[in-house]
Amino acid sequence: MFYTAQIAIALGYLHMKEIAHRDMKLENILIDQDGYLKIIDYGLAKMLGEDQEATSFCGTPEYLAPEMVTQSGHDKSVDWWALGVLVYEMLIGVTPFFNRNKNILLMKIKSGKVVFPDRKKYKIDYSDETMDLIIKLLDKDRSKRLGSKDDFVDILNHPALAKYAKDIKALENK
| pLDDT tens, the chain, 174 aa long | 989 999 999 999 999 999 999 999 999 999 999 888 999 999 999 999 888 999 999 999 999 999 999 999 999 999 999 999 999 999 999 999 999 999 999 999 999 999 999 999 999 999 999 999 999 999 999 999 999 999 999 999 999 998 776 666 666 665
Residue 74 is given by DSSP the state: B
Instruction: Look at residue 171 in the predicted model and tell me its pLDDT.
Output: 65
23 is catalytic: yes
Instruction: Look at residue 2 in the predicted model and tell me its pLDDT.
Output: 87
Q: Which of 23, 75, 79, 154 is catalytic?
A: 23
If you compute the radius of gyration of the chain from its CA atoms, what whole number of angstroms results? 15
How far apart, in Å, are the Cα atoms of 85 and each of 94, 95, 115, 136, 174? 9, 6, 12, 11, 24
- Complete domains list, the chain, with CATH: 2-171 (1.10.510.10)
Instruction: Look at residue 164 in the predicted model and tell me its pLDDT.
Output: 73
On average, the pLDDT of the chain sits at: 93
CB 91 within 8 Å of CB 130: yes
Instruction: Look at residue 35 in the predicted model and tell me its pLDDT.
Output: 87
Give the span between the Cα atoms of 38 and 31, in whole angstroms.
6
Instruction: Look at residue 10 in the predicted model and tell me its pLDDT.
Output: 94
